[in-house]
């Protein structure tokens, strides 16, 4: 059975596109057929993060205008083991944007070909958000441990529920255990109390993301075994229904500090 999941947040810059690209790679490496849809027509950077920016030939309007088949609008990521494809909902020259009905039509044509369709949504709760959620049955809400992000997520969760999207899971991104320890950052437990929504992923802050983004290679492909990579892989497994315990980021952080001190 196919699952269509919108990756959303309310607040921009919290890591939706990063999470979508990495979970796409992980889910396809776990054996699922995965389609990623870039519904952030304004910023459109899912193709960059996957290193596919030069491979897009047709967009969804070419399909809607009868110039190509729906399959021709999909770009396959040949660098990833398994089936990972990308559909970019770029605006055409007339800046026409997709309607909710057109989005529903496109997804219904593609649904049976994939196990997972992940839709990367733009920031905000306006038109782009409405189109992104139009055909979704589930949502991943990405937040960072900051009040502004949590408040926006609260609003978004309310909107999702009002659209009958009831299966909502949280991904907490850019967690810095050392700041939580010093009481300078909101903890995961506090977030659970505020949002009372199930948490499916806790992803640490990692400055190496910049390198992977610039290379067009999601960080989970990195050969170095990093905490961020492990936490993204665990999140993908939880999405498929596996019961995976959460990494204890705090104790990992303390261990790292301890070894650093021992070495110095
Ligand atoms: P969004 O799609 O929500 O706007 P992006 O995925 O584009 O957010 O990420 C915004 C910025 O945050 C990017 O520069 C990205 O590299 C950075 N970023 C995302 N996740 C992390 C992380 N876990 N650690 C460090 N930087 C991150
Ligand atoms: Mg984005």
260: pLDDT strictly greater than 60: no
From residue 259, alpha-carbon distances to 114, 134, 204, 254, 256 in Å are 45, 49, 19, 9, 5
Which domain, by its residues, includes 185? 3-263
Per the annotation, does 213 bind a ligand? no
Determine the distance separating the centroid of ligand 2 and the alpha carbon of 34, expressed in angstroms: 18
Tens digits of residue pLDDT in 98-131: 899 999 999 999 999 999 999 999 999 999 999 9
Per the annotation, does 171 bind a ligand? no
Query: H or E segment at 259?
Result: helix 249-263
More confident residue, 49 or 187: 49
Q: For residues 147 and 124, give the distance between their C-alpha atoms in angstroms, rounded to a whole number.
A: 16
Q: Which atom of ligand 1 is nearest to the CA of 120?
A: 2
| pLDDT on residue 59 | 86
Per the annotation, does 12 bind a ligand? yes
Tens digits of residue pLDDT in 39-89: 987 777 899 999 998 888 888 889 999 999 999 999 999 999 899 999 988
More confident residue, 28 or 53: 28
Determine the distance separating the centroid of ligand 2 and the alpha carbon of 12, expressed in angstroms: 7
- Kind of pairing, strands 167-175 and 138-143? parallel
214: pLDDT strictly greater than 70: yes
Tens digits of residue pLDDT in 226-235: 999 999 999 9
| pLDDT on residue 261 | 55
Q: Which atom of ligand 1 is nearest to the CA of 206?
A: 24
Q: Which atom of ligand 1 is nearest to the CA of 205?
A: 24
Determine the distance separating the centroid of ligand 1 and the alpha carbon of 27, expressed in angstroms: 20
| pLDDT on residue 133 | 97
Q: For residues 51 and 73, give the distance between their C-alpha atoms in angstroms, rounded to a whole number.
A: 16
Instruction: Tell me which ligand sits closest to the C-alpha of residue 15.
Output: 1
Q: For residues 81 and 194, give the distance between their C-alpha atoms in angstroms, rounded to a whole number.
A: 39
Q: Which has the minimum average pLDDT: 27-31, 145-149, 249-253?
A: 249-253
More confident residue, 260 or 211: 211
254: pLDDT strictly greater than 70: no
Q: Is 62 exposed, middle or buried (0-12, 13-18, 19+ CB in 10 A)?
A: middle
Q: Which has the minimum average pLDDT: 89-93, 150-154, 205-209?
A: 89-93
Determine the distance separating the centroid of ligand 1 and the alpha carbon of 264, expressed in angstroms: 32
What pTM value is reported for the model? 0.93
For 93-102, what is the mean pLDDT?
A: 81
Closest residue by Cα to atom 24, ligand 1, is: 205
Q: Which DSSP state fits 114?
A: -
Radius of gyration of the chain from Cα atoms?
18
| pLDDT on residue 1 | 79
| pLDDT on residue 94 | 61
Total number of domains in the chain: 1
Closest residue by Cα to atom 6, ligand 1, is: 15
Q: Give which of 162, 163, 123 is closest to 141, Cα–Cα.
A: 123
CATH number at residue 123: 3.40.50.300
């Amino acid at each position: 059975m196919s699952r269509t999941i919108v990756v959303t947040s309310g607040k921009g810059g919290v890591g939706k596109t990063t999470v979508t690209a990495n979970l796409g790679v992980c889910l396809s490496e776990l054996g699922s057929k995965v389609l990623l849809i870039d519904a952030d027509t304004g910023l459109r950077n899912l193709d960059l993060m996957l290193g596919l920016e030069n491979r897009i030939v047709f967009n969804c309007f070419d399909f809607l205008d009868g110039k190509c088949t729906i399959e021709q609008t999909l770009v396959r990521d040949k660098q990833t083991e398994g089936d990972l494809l990308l559909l970019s909902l770029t605006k055409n020259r007339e800046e026409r944007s997709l309607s909710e009905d057109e989005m529903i039509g496109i997804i219904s044509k593609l649904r049976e070909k994939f196990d997972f369709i992940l839709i990367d949504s733009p920031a905000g709760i306006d038109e782009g958000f409405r189109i992104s959620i139009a055909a979704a049955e589930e949502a991943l809400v990405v937040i960072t441990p900051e009040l502004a992000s949590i408040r926006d997520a609260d609003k978004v969760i309310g909107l999702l529920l009002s659209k009958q999207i009831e299966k909502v899971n949280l991904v907490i991104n850019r967690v810095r255990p050392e700041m939580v320890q010093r009481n300078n950052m909101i903890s995961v437990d506090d977030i659970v109390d505020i949002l009372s929504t199930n948490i499916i992923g806790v992803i640490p802050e990692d400055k190496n993301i910049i390198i992977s983004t610039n290379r067009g290679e999601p960080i989970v492909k990195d050969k170095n075994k990093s905490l961020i990579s492990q936490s993204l892989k665990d999140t993908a497994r939880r999405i498929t229904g596996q019961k995976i315990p959460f990494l204890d980021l705090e104790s990992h952080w303390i261990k790292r500090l301890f070894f650093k001190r021992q070495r110095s």
